[in-house]
Amino acid sequence: MEDTAVKEEVKNTEDQHQIKGGKFLSFFLGKEEYAIEILKVQEIIGLMPITPVPRMPEYIRGVLNLRGKIVPVMNLRSRFGLQMVEDTDETCIIVVQEKQYLMGIVVDKVSEVADIQTEQIEEVPSLGAGRQSDYLSGIGKAKESVKMIMDVEKVLFDVPDNVLENSGSVAAE
């Protein structure tokens, strides 16, 4: 009986840190290559007019009208605390869906759809106090490159404490 409990605990621990392989859309922020599960990608669109919204966190660039739907747009560079750069012809918006929510994320350029097997995905190493690693769910090895696999749910919904403080909201106890 004790042996079964130990096996179940090991299985639960493995499930928590290991994401499943499959197809991933890879994209660049500067020289770093990131990836997102292809099933979470609704579409990829060129940069289009984004309407700023007052009193939003600095990483929210605004909203856009996508065929009648209002979609919030996040600047991923800002969200990850990276240096801001001018938009280029390659800058685009990846529209992702997490649960019932749509969100556009601005990236420097889209790279490819990569097939990354489960055994090619490793845990994110502990990188100290860097916030960027909080938004990763794994590191994928595909061909000769390393792709940082983004945790879409954390990127979209993990609100830093200082955003709540700055908005004047009081978090519920």
pLDDT at 39 over 70: yes
Quick check: is 134 in a domain? yes
Quick check: is 15 in a domain? no
The span from the CA of 85 to the CA of 103, in Å, is: 21
Quick check: is 166 in a domain? no
pLDDT at 26: 96
pLDDT at 13: 39
pLDDT at 116: 93
Task: Return the CATH number at 39.
Answer: 2.40.50.180
3-class secondary structure, 47: coil
Mean pLDDT (the chain, rounded) = 81
Quick check: is 11 in a domain? no
Total-model pTM? 0.78
**Structural domain span for residue 148:** 23-158
pLDDT at 14 over 50: no
- The number of residues in the chain equals 173
Quick check: is 46 in a domain? yes
Quick check: is 138 in a domain? yes
pLDDT at 171 over 50: no
- Number of domains into which the chain is organized: 1
Q: Is 98 exposed, middle or buried (0-12, 13-18, 19+ CB in 10 A)?
A: middle
The span from the CA of 108 to the CA of 13, in Å, is: 35
Q: What is the mean pLDDT of residues 98-125?
A: 92
Quick check: is 8 in a domain? no
